[in-house]
Structure 1
């Protein structure tokens, strides 16, 4: 991040990426990009309002809560306490005095509110919108939120797009999304203008007004964008390439499964073996059979381990490197 060196021209803030799959980078964001994102968010949600800051402000999702508040002329409420506790969330929500009422959470936080079912969940129901970002919102979580009466808006974006730029599959006003060989590309005023002291990485990712992401996606007939996972989430097992994200979707759709992470680990027979770490919510059934029935034998995990939670890094993102280390043969993590 080189804090002792001058910032690049037109840089209002440098945001460190969470580095969930590689070395962190410093993302250069201008005041114009931050403002464009905040204004487009308010336009999509229903107008400026008062925000509850429930994620760290040194990540883009938290920083944007402050930017939106500043532009709205409202005073944000800050979640206090260690970690994320539903009772603390309820106490913070009670301090909101204006409207509309907004907050931004990561899926893990929403799951805790739903699991607790007490004051925190009651508070969540009072928000006009809860923007849910940093990690994918599974269909099961979307269904749980709807059944509980919690209004969520799943968002897709990253530091390079000044926070979420596609809300519930629809790009924000002024944001353009393109697919090149299945890879998601984004253009618009919300874009960063490069990486801190890395002109090589900047040239690779930013060209002709477009930012090429590391994510794969498809565009449905109704125009909505669906993110299919990272381009590097493909696992080559026995010469067949399978999608870790697709396997995770099947696992998370099964009864008794709260969350799942699928990775490939070195294997002398298969090259890479498909393995999974699953967070149960009850008694899961035959998960391997479920994957085999929907995706075929190659996608079926060779091994499934269970844990109380998935390791996280940054603002609620799954730490895939930690999962892979834990699931390596011979590991006792």
Structure 2
């Protein structure tokens, strides 16, 4: 038609290479260890990529990373990207056994780790042996050779991020460069963008929220400021300096930041992106009263962070809302009668758009359940108001969100029943002023067995990350169930009130 044919774009120029050419002296990363310009970051990425190739890593290989130092994680990620390999970030809060299962599932070629993650990495390597073993980042020398990537294939995998499912079995969310690209475009349209933006990330970079900031700032050509862990004084000092324009936090972080504040932050701070779990209305209201520009968002690993975001202009009149869908996203409510956008109708939140992952790594069972007819079924319950603002009523029926970390009861319960004498176990979340929620366990034990809370806690610590270990154990004669045998967690939660 009209003598030409419209072609779909499958590849675009490499983001880091482009920034190094056009803005070589602009700061890309700022960390306690120093500052890296885009030229310096690109040079390091290309030279480390060559070193990884010498070790045997090739295009498409999965490379797992355990790094407690943010800038080392960033350098490893960028080197892996230049090789067209796939990043598998590992949550260093988990146990070696838990991470070994992820390494094995992803068929990882090599495990990279920094000094802070060395002990955990050695534990992982006792349970699984990647093709090229494990390698400390500090032992990898930059070579005089370079591996440079000129283009990015948008449909190629960038990362596999593991997120537990309701069964407690970790699932690898496959994130493509296309997911990142469209996520960056939609986020910029919702939150705005300036050349002087400096985005502070005081959270672990193994989470999709941390990774997304690294990638989006790369696309935008702005600056990422990395903190190695969350320190209230350090974050407040950075925000008070007037150098930070955006910061990503979870509710627990925001609560601690403003706990003793009597005033807001300098006007340079234009966005506090709040995610990770549903924030109490009282917390958001207090932050807004201090003049802090809070943008409540709703999203998850499967949507590559934001699916909806509340703009600061609506924050005061829509406290408790997660806002409206981003420009390239569709969000609806699924009910037994079909999809609806009608105000006041509660149901499961379903999401569609180019930021949504295409599926989980090697999990056709989970894909069939969660991805249907082009929609991702989140398992969360929500409702729209008359103006189309989304309110998330429950972060998955059974999910416990503690300090921004997801805890799935089934995983903890499976560990508890491994303890000799435990017949049944049920885990639910209990409200906590510091962490939002903490896990507690109800245990049915064999009548002839002597059992203590301390013994159960010690058993759990051997197999689970510390934040997953129940903070209290209640011994009961039986668990409440309905006629079909389904556990009634609601009754257990009521007992805690």
TM-score category, normalised to shorter length: 0.5 to 0.7
343, 354, 377: which one aligns with 1:212: 377
The verdict on how the C-alpha distance between 1:95 and 1:57 changes in structure 2, with shifts beyond 3 A counting, is farther
Q: Deviations over 1:14-54 (max 9, x none)?
A: 11225687232110011111111121111111224321111
Gaps of 5+ in 1: 235-243, 246-260, 266-271, 282-318
Normalised to the residue count of structure 1, the TM-score between the two structures is: 0.66
Q: Do the aligned partners of residues 136 and 85 (structure 1) sit closer, same or farther apart at CA in structure 2, a change above 3 Å counting?
A: same
Q: Distance in 1 between matches of 2:234 and 2:355?
A: 32
1:320-331 correspondence runs (5 A): 322-323=469-470, 326-329=472-475
Matched, 1:226 2:391: yes
Distance of 1:124 and 1:65 partners within structure 2: 22
Q: CA deviation at 1:277?
A: 3.3
Q: CA deviation at 1:221?
A: 1.3
Q: Secondary structure at the match of 1:29?
A: strand
Equivalences for residues 93-112 of structure 1 within 5 A: 93=239, 97=243, 101-112=245-256
Shift of 1:71: 1.2
* Structure 2 portions without partners, runs of 5+: 1-105, 110-129, 132-154, 311-322, 336-346, 402-406, 414-424, 435-466, 477-497
Alignment of 1:227-266 (within 5 A): 227-233=392-398
Shift of 1:97: 4.8
Equivalent in the alignment of 1:151: 293
Corresponding position: 1:10 with 2:133: no
How many residues were matched structurally? 254
Deviation at 1:124?
7.5
The answer to whether structure 1 residue 277 and structure 2 residue 430 are counterparts is yes
What residue number does 1:164 align with? 306
TM-score, normalised to structure 2, is 0.46
1:1-333 alignment runs, 5 A limit: 1-4=106-109, 10-17=156-163, 22-48=168-194, 49-80=197-228, 83-93=229-239, 97=243, 101-117=245-261, 123=265, 126-168=268-310, 169-181=323-335, 182-233=347-398, 277-279=430-432, 322-323=469-470, 326-329=472-475
Secondary structure of the residue aligned to 1:190 is coil
CA distance in 1, matches of 2:166, 2:364: 21
2-structure distance, mates of 1:54, 1:135? 16
C-alpha RMSD over aligned residues: 3.6
Could you tell me how far apart the structure 2 residues matched to 1:132 and 1:115 are? 16
Distance 2:433 2:203 in 1: 25
Larger RCO: Structure 1 or Structure 2 (Cα < 8 Å, ≥ 6 residues apart)?
A: 1
* Other-structure match for 1:305: none
Distance 1:227 1:139 in 2: 12
Shift of 1:279: 3.5
- Counterparts of 2:162 and 2:200, CA distance in 1: 22
Q: Judge conservation of contact 1:77–1:95 (CA < 8 Å) in 2.
A: no
1:232 is paired with a residue whose SS is coil
CA contact (8 A) 1:51 1:65 kept: yes
SS of the equivalent of 1:76 reads strand
Max Rg structure: 2
Structure 1 counterpart SS, 2:397? helix
